[in-house]
Structure 1
């Protein structure tokens, strides 16, 4: 009988219940026997037989204590079950023997032993112990019938028992034992299959619930559910991050108490909702305003009945700030465009001033004071033109078009233009040195502007006579090291 025993927590609990139930039944049986046999002498048995019954009851109590101690040793779990089955079969057989053998009604207790053997050992164990019960019952009847053991209790029957009666009684009981074993094992197996299916479905449900919670907690959109009465039930991680409130601080509280602005999503009747997306402003835990894009939908059960509300919201604060900055940029761009237009219009009067001053400068017999004043006007005009040019360059940047540029040619153009301007004086001598062909891949207009600014600054820094040294060297930036 190498039947595997399922040693799970449920089986342990059942075995404990079996031990406790046996103790209760023994106690009731002992009290009834003592009351009927000792106090009222209601059963026609001698005191010696009662003493034997009490002794057997005492032995079963000792066995129950032994079962309980053995239950603590998991490695003896299977032995514990077999030992209890064998002891119970012996006890039932003894009760059958004491109460008239063939006429005893205690033979029904064999079925209880067979049933719990099916619970603990399965179909094979139930059939084996059904056979043991049949053998034990038949042995008691045969031994008493053939006077191999004395008769303890006489039923007072006025008919004789023949061999065929004993044989039929034994066969009927054995068949009933097998039927009970088979039916009990079928029920137990069905119960195990049902329990296994239930465990699988619970596991699948737990996995689905875990997946659902993972999805809810992973999205960056705040999700909050409320009851029909407006009490907050769930609050995902994104909602905590957006609002600054933790679930434990808002759970089961009225939504109007925590987020009054959410009440605008409901009409007077809470069952009537505004489903279109809206933008509202709430305050977080620190009192700072938060711009939210919100939408609300009914929360329904599997039967389609509404059980609450689902509120979905997203933090729009950063987007709002970007929109405000974009609006400011548009206004600044408009102002810059208007200023660029004004600067462009200023060039025409400056050109007229330049032409007029130059014509006046050609007048003969002009006093030196007037000539100095005209030079001051021209220098102011040049500074104003430079300012307008720089402003236009900032407002309307030159497209970054790069091409091969000959630096020597650009310097020649800048020097030639400088000699034609009012900044130039004959007292300054330009000395230019070059290492050869100096070319660069750059924006030609930007290079010209840089060189022109450097040369003009150098000329303005010379007081009286002096030399302006222009040295040109080609440097490969890729070969330079920090």
Structure 2
């Protein structure tokens, strides 16, 4: 593709050809009209008209040649040469027309001026001065010929004398030398004045065009920059008009919400985000910038959305709508909840150390004293049975404290590369011997070679606790499906173990407290099973999440992938 400068030069050369053909057509029509009037008046002098016809024909043929040449000429230098050829040809045409229509007194001397103006437009000052000089030389030759300084040939004499007629404003009388000299001076001065003025105006026009082009490029650059900025924003961006109709919906907004811009554009925004209706009804809020937190359902899931709503103003400062920037805060809220749990775990860890010291030591004393009394005293059967109960409950309490300590301060032992499938298979083997699993179908493909890095004892307890919880939720009847898959996130690659049961699901009020220690819905539960799962997985750098509904519950345990060195 040619540079813009060459494209503009080609456009101007085409414009020159159009102007030339248009002037030739007007001249042809005028000549035909004058010839028709001369014939009506029975004038015998029509030689000038015939000569003009020939000149117009030559101009049209040359124009066709120029148009053809323009298609094959390439490069700035060749285009400039073609422009000079055309303009010089036009000057010669003007000289011939002036010569046969009265010489220096001809009314057609303006053709020289027109050619100079066109040269200024196409070739700027250099072209205008060159064409003004050529026009002056040709007009001087015509004037000197009229003065007799330069002898004219028989052909030129016949052509000039043929101009005596309707197109000859001078008539047949010889012009005085003074008149010819005055016409020469006036026209030559006019040519150069026109050249300088026209070239100055053409140069100003060119500079204006360049400034306009630069402004257009700057505007386009700003538009591209605006598009790139909007596209790179990692937040949803929506603009609405005063009627709350969506006028812009960026790609990030599509990703967050699941809506496509083509379906939401020019629709009422409150139709898709119902919680915004009350916000827009409050004029005090939307008068300035406001930040709101709403809950929305995106892709069938409840999400927490933070909105920053600002007025959209025009160049006069009048409000024409609103700009809404929003982010899905669901993950942030989940992280805050996890941090709160982690803080609780840290506090419980400190409490656990105190419990171990304050309770375990007295328990050891109690247990030892009971055993000593039972071995040294001659007790009746009832007394002996009571001592056994005390001893047994002391052991149970000590075991409970051990479980609590393991939850509160898990001690992850030696880290090993652990295949995940065998951990699950071992737990399922234990489940197979449990009478509670008689009516439960287990679906699991143990062929996965996924592995993680951690303590096998604690991870086996995680698997068993989750399986045990699923069995209890199905109440002895249903299907337990276990799947292992790989999941890539910004913070690394994880093996996801999904435990899906077909139980009734978990109520919302229970779901919020599911991993809290000592929270349980079971009559005999301690409330430490899932809390222990959460703590152990967190210690291994993983996460635990729950997806529940009327079709059952899925526990998602994500453990870091172990990559061999």
The secondary structure found in structure 1 opposite 2:289 is: coil
Aligned residue in 2 for 1:69: 68
Q: CA deviation at 1:47?
A: 3.5
The secondary structure found in structure 2 opposite 1:72 is: helix
Aligned residue in 2 for 1:36: 34
Aligned residue in 2 for 1:236: 250
Q: CA deviation at 1:107?
A: 0.6
Aligned residue in 2 for 1:421: none
Aligned residue in 2 for 1:310: 323
Aligned residue in 2 for 1:279: 293
Residue pair 2:305, 2:326 contacting (<8 A) in 1 also? yes
Residue pair 2:105, 2:170 contacting (<8 A) in 1 also? no
Q: CA deviation at 1:324?
A: 4.4
Residue pair 1:115, 1:181 contacting (<8 A) in 2 also? yes
Q: CA deviation at 1:195?
A: 2.0
Residues 221-247 of structure 1, C-alpha deviations (whole Å, 9 max, x = no match): 222222233332333332222222333
Which entry has the higher C-alpha Rg, 1 or 2? 1
Q: Distance in 1 between matches of 2:46 and 2:115?
A: 29
Q: Indicate yes or no: 2:306 matched with 1:293.
A: yes
Farther-moved stretch of structure 1 (316-325 vs 91-100): 316-325
Cα–Cα, structure 1 residues 115 and 33, in superposed 2: closer, same or farther, change >3 Å? Answer: same
Q: Distance in 2 between matches of 1:155 and 1:395?
A: 119
Cα–Cα, structure 1 residues 23 and 42, in superposed 2: closer, same or farther, change >3 Å? Answer: farther
Q: TM-score, normalised by structure 2?
A: 0.61
Q: Indicate yes or no: 2:281 matched with 1:267.
A: yes
Residue pair 1:361, 1:374 contacting (<8 A) in 2 also? no
Q: CA deviation at 1:293?
A: 0.8
Q: Indicate yes or no: 2:204 matched with 1:168.
A: no
Residue pair 1:267, 1:273 contacting (<8 A) in 2 also? no
Q: Distance in 2 between matches of 1:137 and 1:271?
A: 81
Q: CA deviation at 1:372?
A: 8.9
Residue pair 1:242, 1:315 contacting (<8 A) in 2 also? yes
Q: Distance in 2 between matches of 1:121 and 1:331?
A: 84
Aligned residue in 1 for 2:513: none
Aligned residue in 2 for 1:411: none
Q: Which has the higher strand share?
A: 2
Residues 75-114 of structure 1, C-alpha deviations (whole Å, 9 max, x = no match): 3422321221122112112221232223321111211100
Aligned counterpart for 2:207 among listed residues 176, 180, 193: 193
Aligned counterpart for 1:114 among listed residues 92, 113, 116: 116
Aligned residue in 1 for 2:369: 355
Q: TM-score, normalised by structure 1?
A: 0.70
Structure 1: tracts of 5 or more residues without a match: 401-481
Q: Distance in 2 between matches of 1:245 and 1:352?
A: 67
Q: Distance in 2 between matches of 1:69 and 1:39?
A: 37
The secondary structure found in structure 2 opposite 1:266 is: helix
Aligned counterpart for 1:25 among listed residues 23, 26, 45: 23
Residues 281-301 of structure 1, C-alpha deviations (whole Å, 9 max, x = no match): 2233x3333311112111223
Q: CA deviation at 1:29?
A: 2.0
Q: Distance in 1 between matches of 2:385 and 2:362?
A: 22
Q: Distance in 2 between matches of 1:140 and 1:203?
A: 51
Residue pair 1:222, 1:314 contacting (<8 A) in 2 also? yes
Residue pair 2:116, 2:194 contacting (<8 A) in 1 also? yes
Residue pair 2:293, 2:307 contacting (<8 A) in 1 also? yes
Residues 194-237 of structure 1, C-alpha deviations (whole Å, 9 max, x = no match): 22223333333333333333333223222222223333233333
Aligned residue in 2 for 1:48: 47
Cα–Cα, structure 1 residues 288 and 378, in superposed 2: closer, same or farther, change >3 Å? Answer: closer
Residue pair 1:265, 1:274 contacting (<8 A) in 2 also? no
The secondary structure found in structure 2 opposite 1:41 is: helix
Cα–Cα, structure 1 residues 398 and 114, in superposed 2: closer, same or farther, change >3 Å? Answer: closer
Q: Indicate yes or no: 2:105 matched with 1:103.
A: yes
Q: Distance in 1 between matches of 2:239 and 2:4?
A: 43
Residues 7-66 of structure 1, C-alpha deviations (whole Å, 9 max, x = no match): 522222222122122212212221232233136637856333322221221111111111
Q: State the superposition RMSD in angstroms.
A: 3.8
Q: Distance in 1 between matches of 2:291 and 2:40?
A: 87
Q: CA deviation at 1:266?
A: 1.1
Q: CA deviation at 1:321?
A: 2.5
The secondary structure found in structure 1 opposite 2:281 is: coil
Cα–Cα, structure 1 residues 171 and 232, in superposed 2: closer, same or farther, change >3 Å? Answer: same
Residues 257-283 of structure 1, C-alpha deviations (whole Å, 9 max, x = no match): 443333333127699546321101223
Q: Distance in 1 between matches of 2:4 and 2:329?
A: 58
Structure 2: tracts of 5 or more residues without a match: 413-564
Q: Where does 1:263-412 land on structure 2 (aligned, <5 Å)? A: 263-267=277-281, 272-273=286-287, 275-284=289-298, 286-325=299-338, 348=362, 351-352=365-366, 354-364=368-378, 380=392, 383-384=395-396, 386-394=398-406, 397=409
The alignment covers a number of residue pairs equal to 394
